[in-house]
Structure 1
Amino acid sequence: MRTDIFARLDREPEPPKIEIPRMSRHRIALFGGTLVFYLAIVVAVLDSSWLVALDWKVMLFRPYQQWPELHAFLDYYVVLGQRGPTAVMVAAWLGWRSWRQHTLRPLLTLGTSLLLLNISVGAVKLGLGRLGPHYATQIGSAEMFAGGDIFPSGHTANAVVTWGILAYLATTPRARRYLSAVSAFVSLGVGLTTVYIGTHWLSDVLLGWAAGLLIMLALPWFEPLITRAEIWILSVRASWRARRTLGGPSAGVPGEPVPVLVPRTLEGVGDGATARTEAEGRPGLPGTSQALDGPQEPESGPGPAAEPPGAGGTPGTAGRSRAHSAHGVRAERTPPGPAASRRPPHADRTPRSSAATARPVTGGPVAP
């Protein structure tokens, strides 16, 4: 039995039962209060009330000039509110959680929250069109509907949602309390850092906190949709795996070798090149020379002696005689006796014990 840690993590999901938050009365009351606060900030900025005057006081105070030693550190700290880096870090952690708990809910919850954040915050940004402190044109003005995109603060809202999702998905009350405190500290610090650098008004940060909190409080309403999406994704994966398993290249038994058909004309002869060479030199072998080179001329009696070098004759006839005498079929040769010579006959020599004459030249008299 495997005892390594990865096998244990794969077999034993932690925790055994995941509690999904519900939309309780307490949560509904918090959602309603946060929504009222959100609308009050928007109205106060549109009315150019005391909140806009406070924005200008903080901007003219120029915090980055009052504490310049913090500027280098806060330039890196504000990255915790950027959507790209934070989404990658949190998605990596939640991906490991999904693998360990055998569920896609952490990743789907993160995707749902980021989608709600982009839609809600992006629509208000483009709709109100407020300019930032560095692009303000008139002191005391709200700078609304001027083509800007900073109200509410996207860094602040993203910090609330991205780090708050860790507390939302916590599996124990103790972990939920600790992660809630960490996410609140990070989002508060990111919002104040944008005011220190001068990229946002103070009212932008207040509205960003409210926008992110509204998304976190409304997530239980989207839990049934997340559950249906997870079931659909898992069913699609199961059907894809079944189709991949049953749609192999062959319908035979897995692991069974595929038989190879050998042509009958070359069966039992050898490999391709050797079979071709031997078949051309064996006129008596059935099914080889006739199959490869066509029908041969019949021969009666012992074959004539080979033509000596320098004798006349057509090149085709001499080559054919040499090929037949040099490559005889082993089965048709006479086995040598005890007193016979074991040296193979040469095609260019005349046997000593034979008085056979050379083949006549075409069109000439027979040599004595």
Structure 2
Amino acid sequence: MRTDDKLPQVVGRPTDLVRPRMTRTRRWLLGSTLAVYAATVIGVLTTSWLVQFDWQVMLFRPYKQWPQFHTFLDYFVVMGQRGPTAVAVTAWLGWCCHKQRTMRPLLVLGTSLLLLNITVGAVKLGFGRLGPHYATTVGSSEMWGNGDIFPSGHTANAVVTWGVLAYLATTPRARRVASVIAAVFAFGVGMTTVYLGTHWVSDVVLGWAAGVLVLLALPWLEPSMARAEVLLRALLRKVRERQVPKLPPVSLPVAGSALAAPRVARDDDLPTRETVGVAAAHVAEARPHHPLRPHPLRAERVVTPGGSRRPPHADRLPHTERLLPHTDRLRPPAGRGRTATGG
């Protein structure tokens, strides 16, 4: 047989999915987003034209200009709320983990949400900007107060939660479709918060930038997520081994061995006096041992009285009379009979 004549190999599912890398395009997007982030923060801190534009939109009050959209947008803004969106996306990615036999989708979602909460939460608490409904001075940036709206959490969460689906897409077409859907949701949620008057326009712009930065930083965290997956798999394997009891290995007889060949009975197999004695000793040892009792003497033994144990009865004849013949029982005594006949 030649080496060229080989059987065709079946190509199965790839064990490792393609992970995005930090390409030149991603680096360019990362630099541009950082520039927008920094410009927005500087524009708000210096009370530039961006703050004036915030006040113009707030005083315009869009929810009063178009009240017919208020009910729909009040429900649509939930698409950027962290709780409902995280539950929905987690359920979908859990099914993807089961199908792809990997924990990477859930690890990517958890890592992105953790990074988002740390970065956005720290900036919110650091600036402390008040929202439009709690503004006190017209034209002011309303910074260093007790607020927590800069940047917009709804907007950043919408970018990250729906953008993760595009990040985890396995085909270029699916990635393009998921990117368009994520962009629509992120833009719609941001504009909805401005319409409802809960955020300034600058809050929404900074929320978009914060969410995009988290998505662009995920390729750098891929090695850490891969190591975390290995550790989690090892931990789950140990938990399963502890739950399932280990059975002793069973050795099966091999063909041709002494155990597999049938054994023929011989004369040596008959039990001898020594083997019977040993077996009896083992049986005696297996039985429970009772304490020895002193054997009673003959005089101390209980003697059962003789005779009948049945109680006496008036109509019952004694045992001796019952054995006599019928004629003898009816014959009178000898003395009485002679006196009667003789007289």
TM-score of the aligned structures, taking structure 2 as reference length: 0.72
CA distance in 1 between counterparts of 2:156 and 2:37 reads 12
- Work out the number of aligned pairs and report it: 272
| Amino acid in structure 1 at the alignment position of 2:46 | D
The residue aligned with 2:163 is: 164
Specify whether residues 243 and 132 from structure 1 end up closer, same or farther in structure 2 by C-alpha distance, changes over 3 A only: same
Equivalents in 2 of 1:348, 1:44: separation in Å? 124
Question: Aligned ranges for residues 101-116 of structure 1 at < 5 Å?
Answer: 101-116=100-115
Contact in 2 for aligned 1:15/1:171 (Cα 8 Å)? no
Identity over the aligned pairs, expressed in percent? 58
Residue 188 (1) aligns with residue 199 (2) = no
Aligned AA (2:118) = I
Q: Which residue of 1 aligns with 2:263?
A: none
In structure 2, C-alpha distance between the alignment counterparts of 1:17 and 1:156, rounded to whole Å: 33
Kindly indicate whether residue 32 of structure 2 is the aligned counterpart of residue 38 of structure 1: no
Alpha-carbon distance in structure 1 between the residues aligned to 2:64 and 2:160: 30
Contact residue 121 and residue 211 of structure 1 kept, 8 A: yes
Distance in 1, Cα, partners of 2:24 & 2:317: 123
Deviation of 1:300 after TM superposition, in Å, equals 6.4
Alignment CA distance shift 1:301-1:40 (3 Å): closer
- Structure 1 residue 52 displacement after superposition: 0.4
Q: CA deviation at 1:246?
A: 4.8
Report whether the alignment pairs 1:67 with 2:61: no
Q: Given that residues 34 and 210 in structure 1 are in contact (C-alpha distance below 8 angstroms), is that contact kept between their aligned partners in structure 2?
A: yes
For residues 209-246 of structure 1, the C-alpha deviation after alignment (integer angstroms, 9 at most, x for no partner) is 00000000110000000000000111111222233335
Give the 3 Å change call, closer, same or farther, for CA 65–234 of structure 1 in structure 2.
same
Sort the Cα spacing of 1:32 and 1:353 in 2 relative to 1 into closer, same or farther, 3 A.
farther
Aligned partner of 1:234 in structure 2 is 233
Going from structure 1 to structure 2, the CA distance change for 1:80 and 1:353 (only over 3 Å counts) comes to farther
Q: How large is the Cα RMSD of the aligned pairs? A: 3.1
Give the secondary-structure state (helix, strand or coil) at the position aligned to 2:142. coil
CA gap of 1:13–1:156, structure 2 versus 1, over 3 A, is farther
Contact 1:81 1:158 in 2 (8 A): yes
User: Counterparts of 1:1-368 in structure 2 under 5 Å?
Assistant: 17-246=16-245, 264=287, 303-304=304-305, 349=311
* 1:166-192 deviation per Cα after TM superposition (whole angstroms, max 9, x unaligned): 000000100000000000000100000
Q: 1:213 to 1:297 in 2, by over 3 A?
A: farther
Aligned-partner SS, 2:41? helix
Are the counterparts in 2 of residues 128 and 145 from structure 1 also a CA contact under 8 Å?
A: yes
Q: Which residue of 2 aligns with 1:336?
A: none
CA distance in 1, matches of 2:147, 2:199: 11
Q: Using the alignment, how far apart are the partners of 2:88 and 2:296 within structure 1?
A: 82
Q: Which amino acid aligns with 2:304?
A: G
Distance 2:21 2:110 in 1: 19
Alpha-carbon contact 1:13-1:102 (below 8 Å) kept: no
Letter matched to residue 190 of structure 1: V
Q: Secondary structure at the match of 1:38?
A: helix
Partner SS for 1:242: helix
CA distance in structure 1 between the aligned counterparts of 2:207 and 2:295, rounded to whole angstroms: 96
1:300–1:38: structure 2 CA closer, same or farther, 3 Å change rule?
closer
Aligned-residue offset at 1:303: 2.1
Task: Assess if the C-alpha contact under 8 Å between 1:154 and 1:208 holds in 2.
Answer: yes
8 A Cα contact 1:117 1:158, kept in partner: yes
Secondary structure of 2:102's match? coil
Segments of 4+ moved more than 3 angstroms: 12-17, 243-248, 263-266, 293-302, 347-355
Q: Aligned equivalents of 2:76 and 2:135: distance in 1?
A: 25
Give the letter aligned to residue 213 of structure 1.
Answer: V
Amino acid paired to 2:49: W
Q: Does the residue aligned with 1:99 lie in a helix, a strand or coil?
A: helix
Per the alignment, do residues 297 and 188 of structure 1 end up closer, same or farther by CA in structure 2, a change over 3 Å counting? farther
Cα distance in 1, alignment partners of residues 60 and 310 from structure 2: 116
The verdict on how the C-alpha distance between 1:305 and 1:41 changes in structure 2, with shifts beyond 3 A counting, is: farther
Q: Which residue of 2 aligns with 1:279?
A: none
In 1: Cα distance, 2:72 partner to 2:14 partner: 38
Q: CA deviation at 1:147?
A: 1.6
Change beyond 3 A, Cα 1:109–1:301 = closer
SS at structure 2 position matched to 1:88: helix
1:150-176 Cα deviation digits (max 9, x unpaired): 000000000000000000000010000
- 2: CA distance between counterparts of 1:297 and 1:20? 98
> Could you tell me which amino acid in structure 2 is paired with residue 51 of structure 1?
L
In 1, the alpha carbon distance for the partners of 2:88 and 2:37 equals 29
Q: What per-residue deviation string (whole Å, max 9, x for no partner) do you get for residues 266-295 of structure 1?
A: 9xxxxxxxxxxxxxxxxxxxx8xx99x997
